[in-house]
Amino acid sequence: MIKNTVLERFHEIGIIPVVVLDDVKDAVPLGKALVNGGLPAAEVTFRTAAAKDSIAAMRKECPDLLVGAGTVLSKEQVDQALEAGAQFIVSPGLDKEVVSYCIEKGVPVTPGCATASDVTAAYALGLDVVKFFPAEPAGGIKMIKALAAPFHMMKFMPTGGISEKNMEDYLKEKMILCVGGSWMVKADLIKEGKFDEIEELCKKAVKKLQEVRG
């Protein structure tokens, strides 16, 4: 079973916001909006040049925020993320070298898996939590249920196409650790500085989560 405290926090929070930041100035106000909205976590994707500095700023100014790096594709990016203070690593696919490096560094890693072969490889590396990506295009909750039958020891973090409309389909299932999503942190809201709106969207998502979990 999951022993890592970061992954336990994933389950407690339930919805992990997947964030794309183009400007580091938005990092701290976004982090505060997430905390105030009841979703104190951010997977900051390494798709932009501002990712590393954004993670560092969030870690410094938002002590209650769980901050990690997403879209990590290489050991070099792992090093950059850890240097910035990232508390977890997420990747879109399963790169054994990257996963092994994270394990060696002692940082929680959830690689993207979409097939039985991917999950087998992750399990062989010692993982008991994987990201299911891209969730909706790869078959959604039906596919996860099919995978969970032989891999009953695994927990899944579906990301990709998750929204307020379908998150209940995932979160009500016991093999789901949490979901990843960006509907409450859309790029245009961040760029326009609408952090109050982001906070409200987070609160709305938390309310829905609480209804699902009872």
* Per-residue pLDDT tens digits for 137-183: 999 999 999 999 999 999 999 999 999 999 999 999 999 999 999 99
pLDDT band at 3 (very low <50, low <70, confident <90, very high): low
Q: What is the mean pLDDT of residues 32-58?
A: 98
% residues pLDDT > 70 (the chain): 99
Length of the chain: 214
pLDDT band at 4 (very low <50, low <70, confident <90, very high): confident
Q: What is the mean pLDDT of residues 80-105?
A: 98
pTM: 0.96
pLDDT number for residue 214: 85
pLDDT number for residue 2: 45
Given 52, 131, 155, 199, the catalytic residue? 131
The yes-or-no answer on residue 43 being catalytic is: yes
User: Within 13 Å and on the Cβ side, how many CA atoms surround 144?
Assistant: 29
Alpha-carbon distance 140 to 166, whole Å?
10
| pLDDT digit string, tens, across residues 60-75 | 999 999 999 999 999 9
Query: Does the pLDDT of residue 118 top 60, yes or no?
Result: yes
Alpha-carbon distance 11 to 197, whole Å?
24
Q: Is 107 left (phi over 0), alpha (psi -120 to 50) or beta?
A: beta
- Cβ neighbors of 134 (< 8 A, separation 6 or more) are 114, 159, 160, 161
Instruction: Note the Cα 188 to chain centre separation in Å.
Output: 20
Alpha-carbon distance 86 to 105, whole Å?
12
pLDDT number for residue 1: 40
The yes-or-no answer on residue 131 being catalytic is: yes
pLDDT band at 39 (very low <50, low <70, confident <90, very high): very high
Given 3, 8, 25, 43, the catalytic residue? 43
Which two three-digit tokens encode residue 78? 């792992």
